[in-house]
Chain A
Amino acid sequence: MGCFSVEVVIDKKMTETEVIEELSDGMTIGIGGWGSRRKPMSLVRAIARSNLKDLTIVSYGGPEVGLLCATGKIRKAIYGFVSLDSIPLEPHFRNAKQEGTIETSELDEGAFYLGLLAAAHRMPFYPTRAGLGSDMLMMNPEIKTIESPYKSSDGEKGEELVAIPALNLDVSLIHMNRADSQGNGQFLGPDLYFDDLFAKAAKRTFMSCEKIIPTEDFLKEGSVHTLKIPRLFVNGVIEAPRGAHFTECPPDYDRDEVFQSEYAASAKDLQSWENFEQKYLEVTSHQEYLKAVDSRTQIEESQNG
């Protein structure tokens, strides 16, 4: 290349531990990805290991919600769903709901998107028809309806609409395939999900990535359309290879379904959970976690071989 000479004046590289130091009890934290797909799991596990408490977690929920329920970090979860995809309902989240240990705000999946969009645009709400007629409003009494200022098709008054309140976030955590050290992020998989909106809806965003690359290499990795996270919405970049494990992060890797099943089985009883926690959460770093995951695979391979 060599046609550009960009002087790097900004360096936002951080570690998971440094991100945790930026968080505090009671914060509202948005988490990108969708179900068991491209979740910033190295950051989620760092929260699980921390002393943080009373968090409000806002996400198209996957194992981050279950893991943080099981480790007692969540006061309230705001979500469109909480699923592991191949396992339709997150089992630790199921336990928390059935035991009544967390407060929840369950939104229609599309309404959740409008809440993020409103926060990203600094609007108090966005209107929608979603929620009228269903029990969503009964389950979320703080959500109000408004009358459209424009006449309805029947010529009388404006129609009633749901005003989905902005999902304003203190911090968002997202995981990208690639990033540069200045905070630009690149997704290379089939769907960005709503990660750009999570970044824009939050006061501060910390972005983990599979690999930090020089800015000039972005277009070698993917087309310009994959560069959806501009650095003005990102405060920290964490290089975390396999940082989304066990959720999928294509094209870098698929979901680790075997590990996910092991995780799901840990919701069965306290003993199973304690075993899981000891093996995979009571580790000092993401690197140590990966070692624990890999030693398990090696044992399996030697048993099978």
Chain B
Amino acid sequence: MADDATIDEICVTAIADSFRGDGEILCNPIGNIPVIAGRLAKATFEPAMVMTDTVSVLAANTIPIGEPNAEKLVEAWMPYRDLFDIVWSGRRHIVMGASQIDPHGNQNFAAIGDWKKPKAQLLGLRGAPGNLVNNTTSYWIPNHSTRSFVQKVDIVSGPGYDRISQLSNEIQQNHEIRKIVSNLGVFNFLNSEKRMQLVSNHPDVTIDEIVTSTGFELLIPDGIEETRIPTKEELKLIREVIDPHGLRKSEFVKK
């Protein structure tokens, strides 16, 4: 155990843990902290996963982030067209962001307000509609508040369990929101209602703080434990190998 782990590093291992058991699939995290987490999982407990260099190849080695000229052990060419083939094959676990998420896991990063003339235009639907009906998805939300964890999202980019339950068996089989990691805690939908529940609160974050920062009723099972802290080996990999420039710090939003 490494007691000097910081919150950004705890979030990294929490996201990395979402890939446990995934095996030989495309690990496809978006954003610095998720990419560090994916590379950490691959370098430790999920060595069979394949990962992109975030440009156009699958690289077998552990590439440091923020170093575009780092050496790559290329194992396949992965232009965008082939990436869509992998999405549709289902052999993929993506980690995306969310500007809003609701109790059923409906995610919005498209726009705030009326989509035709939004108050704030965000990224758009991007690949979220296709991702959710084809492969496993997790979310990284670095600014947990009643503005991001909302009762109802303005636009559904990535559909949650209530909407998916209305669709075909094929889609229901493909759809899984594995985990949500925020700067406050870890969440999933592993209950009969498929509603968002607390899995763990990060060290130094109380359950009360999570409840008051969430804009809907969160399920809180008994016996919640704190999110684990990274091992010494994980911290060494994060700090010295995967993110030597500390880019994880700049992405992390202080609570």
Hey, which bits of chain A sit against chain B, CB under 8 A?
34, 79-83, 88-89, 93-94, 97-100, 104, 106-111, 113, 128-136, 139, 152-154, 159-160, 190-194
A267 to B32 CA separation, bound complex (whole angstroms) = 27
A81 and B123 CA atoms in complex are apart in Å by 7
- Our pick among A97, A109, A132 for the contact of B127 (Cβ within 8 Å) is A109
Contact partner of B158 among A34, A106, A134, A192, CB < 8 A?
A: A134
Interface contact A108-B127, CB-CB below 8 Å: yes
Contact B121–A134 (Cβ < 8 Å):
no
Interfacial chain A residues near B121, Cβ < 8 Å:
89, 93-94, 97-98
B255 interfacial by beta-carbon distance below 8 Å: no
Closest to B88 in A: A110
Q: List the one stretch of B111-119, B136-144, B197-205 in contact with chain A.
A: B111-119
Q: Using Cβ atoms and an 8 Å threshold, which residues of chain B touch A192? A: 79, 81
Check A113 against B84 for contact (C-beta < 8 Å): yes
A34 CB contacts on chain B under 8 angstroms: 80
Question: B133 in the interface, Cβ–Cβ < 8 Å?
Answer: yes
Q: Are A193 and B79 touching (Cβ within 8 A)?
A: yes
Shortest Cβ distance from B159 into A: residue: A133
B132's partner among A133, A153, A154, A159 (CB-CB below 8 A) is A133
Are B168 and A159 touching (Cβ within 8 A)? yes
Known: A100-B117, A108-B126, A129-B174. 20 other contacts (CB 8 A): A89-B124, A94-B121, A98-B118, A106-B124, A108-B128, A109-B130, A110-B84, A111-B129, A131-B130, A132-B167, A133-B133, A133-B159, A133-B163, A133-B167, A135-B155, A135-B157, A152-B169, A153-B170, A190-B56, A191-B55
A97 to B88, CA, bound (A): 30
Please provide the 8 A-B residue pairs with the shortest distance between their CB atoms, ordered closest to farther: A133-B159, A130-B130, A100-B117, A134-B129, A190-B56, A159-B168, A108-B129, A191-B79
Tally of contacts, chain A with chain B, CB under 8 A: 132
**Closest residue of chain B to A155, judged by CB?**
B169
Main secondary structure of the interface of B (DSSP, over half): loop
> Residues of B contacting A139 with CB < 8 Å?
115, 125, 155
Q: How many residues of B contact A (CB 8 A)?
A: 45
B76 CB-CB contact with A under 8 Å: no
Contacts of A154 in B (CB 8 A): 169
A194 proximity list for chain B (CB < 8 A): 80-81
Which residues of A are found within 8 Å of B167, using beta-carbon distances? 132-133, 160
The CA of A190 and the CA of B76, in the complex, are separated in Å by 12
The complex places the Cα of A99 from the Cα of B117 at a distance, in Å, of 6
On whether the beta carbons of A134 and B128 are closer than 8 Å, the reply is: yes
CB-defined A-B contacts under 8 Å, sample of 13: A81-B126, A93-B121, A97-B118, A99-B117, A109-B126, A110-B130, A128-B88, A129-B170, A129-B171, A129-B174, A134-B132, A134-B158, A152-B169
In the bound complex, how far is the Cα of B123 from the Cα of A100, in angstroms? 16
Chain A positions within 8 Å of B87 at CB level: 110
Query: Is A133's CB under 8 angstroms from B130's CB?
Result: no
Which chain A positions have C-beta within 8 A of B166? 133
CA distance A113 to B82 in the complex (A): 11
A80 to B129, CA, bound (A): 11
Q: Which residues of A contact B116 (CB under 8 A)?
A: 100, 104
| Chain B residues within 8 Å of A81, by CB | 123-124, 126
Q: Which residues of B contact A132 (CB under 8 A)?
A: 129, 133, 159, 167-168, 171
A153–B134 CB distance below 8 A:
no
Residues of A within 8 A of B157 (CB): 134-135
In the bound assembly, the distance between CA atoms of A131 and B80 in angstroms comes to: 19
Q: Smallest distance from the beta carbon of B172 to chain A beta carbons, Å?
A: 10
Which B residue sits closest to A61, measured CB to CB? B124
Please give the distance in Å from B137's CB to the nearest CB on chain A.
Answer: 12
**Cα separation A191 to B120 with both chains bound (whole Å):** 32
Q: Which residue of A lies closest to B133 (CB)?
A: A129
